[in-house]
Structure 1
Amino acid sequence: MPHDPYKALYIHLPFCKHRCAYCDFATRAVDRDSPEIGEYIERLILDIRRKAKEGELSAIETVYLGGGTPSYIGSKHLSNLLYTLGVSMDLTPDVECSMEANPESITPELVRDIYALGVNRLSIGVQSFDDGLLKTLDRVHDGARAEEAVRMAQERFENVSVDLMCGIPGQTPEMFLESLRKAIDLGVTHVSVYPLTIEDHTPFRNMVDAGEIEDVNEEHEALMMAMAPNELTPAGFHRYEVASYAKEGYECRHNIAYWTGVPYLGLGTSAVTMTQNSARRMRVQDGEVVDDLDRRQMAAEDLMMKMRMCRGVSEDEVREAALLLPEVLEVYRGMVRDNLVERKGGRYMPTFGGWLLGNELYGRLYELAP
């Protein structure tokens, strides 16, 4: 269908050194010298060139290399991929180009090479700086290696993010705070705090079912999520999304694109493409349509997604949505009454309780246009 220009590009690299026990992403563990990696990169390069010829990369403002563990595939493959991107689109410093990396596969050579080829934001999957918790999570790095990786990245990158996890079996609030303090002391510019979710069909789920580890304690997770801003805000971070904290100017623009209805192109196995125009929004994954929304459903989804962000939605946006969704004003009033949302400065913004009860908050908006 005729569609608005893609503004964001996601490239999926599904390879890892080791598949963690809690992971349910589209990833697989392969040898680093496996020909499968080279063949996959060649297919991606052909896809990038084809999309460039079709004019689909001309308006891209953010690029995100995710996985898997993009850093695991090494400098040679990443250089080939990034060089192709650089000649296929306008990969200037104004384009936010993020790459995920795990501590064990970050080297000075890798940092130097990807920085030279246009990556300007590195997101490191630390999860915890506590060695015992890292073993519980089945990670292949330890806390010292995570610190070393952050410092290596900072040799070139000003914009370094770390992922930290809360609700890990055996994790105390003090352990979580220690990891937060370590990230702050290291001088990172962005921190993502994720509650552990034990997904079906993962080794963690089997371990829970067998009584080998405890299931997630949602109250403990909520406590740790609530503690994060107390530590991060005085250190100069602000919360801009339910799980994301950044120093001013270091917010992840690519993730914001997902939450604000910006069209995005996905390349690689399992990557999702969101195509839209004024009347229709479609998501396609591996050639299959997984979402097909009309104007009313688009309006409801936009409100729902924006409520992930601290700034929520403006009263003007809600009034505009009411032209398609007449019940929306009453839904927002109800969420204010129930303390899921607060009305402040001409905006409807999620409360912390609203985030903790996210399924309730998002569900009320989603149900406006089932």
Structure 2
Amino acid sequence: MSGIYIHIPFCKQACHYCNFHFSTSLRYKNELIAALLGEISLTKDFFPEAVKNAGAVETIYFGGGTPSLCTKEEIDAILSQISASFEVAAGAEITLEANPDDITEERLLQWKDSGITRLSIGIQSFFEEDLVWMNRAHNSSQAWNSLQLATKYFDNITIDLIYGTPGLTDDKWKQNVDRVISLGIPHISCYALTVEPKTPLQKMIREHKLADVDPDHQSAQFLLLMTWLADAGFEHYEISNFAKPGFRSRHNSSYWKGKPYFGFGPSAHSFDGESRWWNIANNTTYIRSIEQGAIPYEKEVLTPVQQVNEMIMISLRTLEGLDTSRLIQQIKGIAQDEILRMKQTILEESARYISNGLMVREGDWLRLTYEGKLLADGIAADLFFD
């Protein structure tokens, strides 16, 4: 069982905080879509064992960039090529990321006809001043109207919200969350604003044109968020993700469970359980390579210790937590007695986090508390093996 991620590297304009691979020029869009189709077809030749062992594709995710810039014909062609190259399971979850300014009744009907089953809408905020500050392509009216329209055609919708920005008061943050709840949106992904290297946001903060983020402010808003959404019946099933029962993201959940996945498009990553490979993050080089019958990728084989550390990192971010007994079944290349020693070390090292209320233990399982989730990455890193 596996997933497929499709990276569409185009946007109308650059958000100040974004460090993903994208271009605001659509000049090579047709060529890139053709290259995407070529890469999907080539994968069985370049990675035959990975394709053979992957099983049926359960999820397909159009990310970016802005996939809602694709035409219906382009989406149909990509899905058709996936079906020709892989076995796609009946009832597969097919997600499309969309910006509010691209959402119209006509586009919604086209997406449903293409087989899209889930929409991921990049709202970020319902306040005009926040959207201008982020340099988003949509305005506050489009943010609200797009959701009202989308809910008429799709039941399975997730939206993105950003918290911890300098101008976002706790009252405004609550209004953003309450608006989503009021529409019955079943899934919310919430992210603390991160100042990424080489972004316009980092440059403007460094030049004192914008205020820097306040980690304490972000932590406070995250704690408020967890309380509000728990009261509204959402499961906090991953650090940044909240869902009504039955509406977890199947695609993203497969990442956190360590399942294999294929990524297509420039900068996209793939994983087969023991190895990871990723495409070059350059549109022109990607296109030219595929035209010559070669996938332009780099690859690393994870050591057993790296596999253990990844399991610690991704598992502690989830509601279920880290099942240390999984180490024995999942990690290859280490003797069983060594695995048992590593398991015992993890349980012993977690004791201090349990004593200070950041973690709880139930048998072989370790889970983070509300306060522990504020420090998830740091706690995970502290449990890593060298």
Give me the TM-score of the superposition, normalised by structure 1: 0.89
8 Å CA contact 1:264–1:273 kept in 2: the answer is yes
Residue 353 of structure 2 is aligned to residue 335 of structure 1: yes
What does residue 23 of structure 1 align with?
18
**CA distance in structure 2 between the partners assigned to 1:231 and 1:107 by the alignment:** 30
What does residue 181 of structure 2 align with?
184
1:234-245 aligned within 5 A: 234-245=231-242
Residue 378 of structure 2 is aligned to residue 360 of structure 1: yes
8 Å CA contact 2:267–2:279 kept in 1: the answer is yes
What does residue 288 of structure 2 align with?
none
What does residue 8 of structure 1 align with?
3
1:46-57 aligned within 5 A: 46-51=38-43, 55=51
CA, structure 1 residues 67+210, in 2 after alignment: closer, same or farther (shift >3 Å)?
A: same
1:44 to 31, 36, 39: 36
**CA distance in structure 2 between the partners assigned to 1:314 and 1:302 by the alignment:** 9
**CA distance in structure 2 between the partners assigned to 1:283 and 1:353 by the alignment:** 35
1:317 to 322, 326, 332: 326
Map Cα deviations across residues 193-225 of structure 1 (whole Å, 9 max, x no partner).
100011121111111111111111111111111
Aligned length: 357
CA, structure 1 residues 82+281, in 2 after alignment: closer, same or farther (shift >3 Å)?
A: closer
**CA distance in structure 2 between the partners assigned to 1:85 and 1:115 by the alignment:** 18
What displacement does 1:315 show? 5.3
Map Cα deviations across residues 308-362 of structure 1 (whole Å, 9 max, x no partner).
1011023533677842625222122233234331124763101222221123211
**CA distance in structure 1 between the partners assigned to 2:44 and 2:327 by the alignment:** 37
CA, structure 1 residues 84+293, in 2 after alignment: closer, same or farther (shift >3 Å)?
A: closer
1:102 to 57, 79, 99: 99
Residue 217 of structure 2 is aligned to residue 220 of structure 1: yes
What displacement does 1:228 show? 1.1
**CA distance in structure 1 between the partners assigned to 2:276 and 2:327 by the alignment:** 23
What displacement does 1:124 show? 0.4
**CA distance in structure 1 between the partners assigned to 2:89 and 2:310 by the alignment:** 32
Letter in 2 for 1:352: Y
Moved more, 316-325 or 154-163: 316-325
What does residue 161 of structure 2 align with?
164
8 Å CA contact 1:15–1:27 kept in 2: the answer is yes
What does residue 348 of structure 1 align with?
366
CA, structure 1 residues 285+337, in 2 after alignment: closer, same or farther (shift >3 Å)?
A: farther
Percent identity between the two aligned chains: 31
What does residue 207 of structure 1 align with?
204
8 Å CA contact 1:93–1:118 kept in 2: the answer is no
SS in 2 for 1:100: strand
What does residue 232 of structure 1 align with?
229
What does residue 266 of structure 1 align with?
263
CA, structure 1 residues 38+285, in 2 after alignment: closer, same or farther (shift >3 Å)?
A: closer
Map Cα deviations across residues 8-54 of structure 1 (whole Å, 9 max, x no partner).
111100100111111111011124xx3x1111111111222334685
Residue 278 of structure 2 is aligned to residue 284 of structure 1: yes
**CA distance in structure 2 between the partners assigned to 1:79 and 1:186 by the alignment:** 30
What does residue 3 of structure 1 align with?
none
SS in 2 for 1:61: strand
1:303 to 302, 312, 326: 312
SS in 1 for 2:278: strand
Letter in 1 for 2:371: G
2:64 to 67, 87, 95: 67
SS in 2 for 1:306: helix
Letter in 1 for 2:303: D
Letter in 1 for 2:347: L
Give me the TM-score of the superposition, normalised by structure 2: 0.86
Letter in 2 for 1:12: H
CA, structure 1 residues 308+299, in 2 after alignment: closer, same or farther (shift >3 Å)?
A: same
1:254 to 244, 251, 260: 251
SS in 2 for 1:66: strand
Letter in 2 for 1:311: E
Residue 105 of structure 2 is aligned to residue 113 of structure 1: no
**CA distance in structure 1 between the partners assigned to 2:298 and 2:272 by the alignment:** 11
Map Cα deviations across residues 260-297 of structure 1 (whole Å, 9 max, x no partner).
11111111000011123xxx433434345454322232
**CA distance in structure 1 between the partners assigned to 2:372 and 2:279 by the alignment:** 30
1:119-130 aligned within 5 A: 119-130=116-127
8 Å CA contact 2:120–2:157 kept in 1: the answer is yes
CA, structure 1 residues 275+339, in 2 after alignment: closer, same or farther (shift >3 Å)?
A: same
CA, structure 1 residues 176+328, in 2 after alignment: closer, same or farther (shift >3 Å)?
A: same
SS in 2 for 1:96: strand
8 Å CA contact 1:318–1:329 kept in 2: the answer is no
**CA distance in structure 1 between the partners assigned to 2:2 and 2:341 by the alignment:** 25
Moved more, 192-201 or 306-315: 306-315
**CA distance in structure 2 between the partners assigned to 1:135 and 1:246 by the alignment:** 28
**CA distance in structure 2 between the partners assigned to 1:193 and 1:128 by the alignment:** 11
**CA distance in structure 1 between the partners assigned to 2:34 and 2:298 by the alignment:** 25
Map Cα deviations across residues 154-184 of structure 1 (whole Å, 9 max, x no partner).
2321100000000122110111110101111
**CA distance in structure 2 between the partners assigned to 1:155 and 1:323 by the alignment:** 52
